[in-house]
Every structure is written in structure tokens, then in C-alpha cells.
Amino acid sequence: MSPDQQAPKIDVPYLAQLARISLDAEQMEKFGAQLQQIVSYVEKLKEVNVEGIEPTAHATPITNVFRQDEPRTPGDNAPFLKNAPQQANNLFVVPKIVE
């Protein structure tokens, strides 16, 4: 199999930016080579005839699950807030978003 020619080139800087993961040049190069190999491997799916086949998102018979819409008292949010790197006034604090 020499599908390297067939598989599209992986654009690691663009994908890393989409995924919000900062990488240095060395990591980009290494991951790029490894991912290219993996993408070449998955090209084999092109051999399969999938005409008329429905996609499977989920392997259970269940479609929709409903419950009564009853009011409930939420639990204490303190242990959740405590996990935040920065919090104040019962809120998560993030760097400034708008000028």
C-alpha cells in the first residue's frame, strides 16, 4: 500500500489552531508525520462500498428519552466552583474578552 500520495496533506498548524492547542515547531513536525501515516491508513475505508448504507451514530435501540419536567432544587455549587482556577462572586473568572 502506498496511499501516501492519495491521502490529503494534514495541515497541523491550522488544525492545532482550530483545536485550540498551542504547539511548537518541533511538535508540529512530529505530529504531522505521525498523523499523515494514520490518515494514510484510514484511506482504506475508500475501498468499501457504502452506497445506500445508513450511518450509525449510536449502537442503541433508544431514540428519545423523556422525563417529567419537575422542578428540582439544585445542589450546592461550592464544590464545583472550588475546582476553578479562578473564581469570584460565585462565578468563573476568565481573561478579559471585550475591550
Cell of 49: 462500498
Candidate list 1, 25, 65, 88; residue touching another protein; CB under 8 A = 65
Candidate list 3, 4, 21, 29; residue touching another protein; CB under 8 A = 21
Minimum gap (Å) between residue 3 Cβ and another protein: 11
Minimum gap (Å) between residue 75 Cβ and another protein: 8
Q: Which amino acid is at 54?
A: E
Question: Smallest Cα–Cα separation from 15: which of 34, 31, 3, 26?
Answer: 31
Q: Are strands 91-92 and 87-88 parallel, antiparallel or unpaired?
A: antiparallel
Minimum gap (Å) between residue 8 Cβ and another protein: 7
Buried b (16+ CB within 10 A) or exposed e, 30-69: ebbeeebeebbeeeeeeeeeeeeeeeeeeeeeeeeeeeee
Work out whether 72 is an interface residue with another protein (CB under 8 A). no
Residues that bind another protein (CB under 8 A): 8, 10, 12, 15-23, 27, 31, 34-35, 37-39, 41-42, 44-46, 48, 50, 53-62, 65, 67, 75, 79-80, 82-86, 92, 94-97
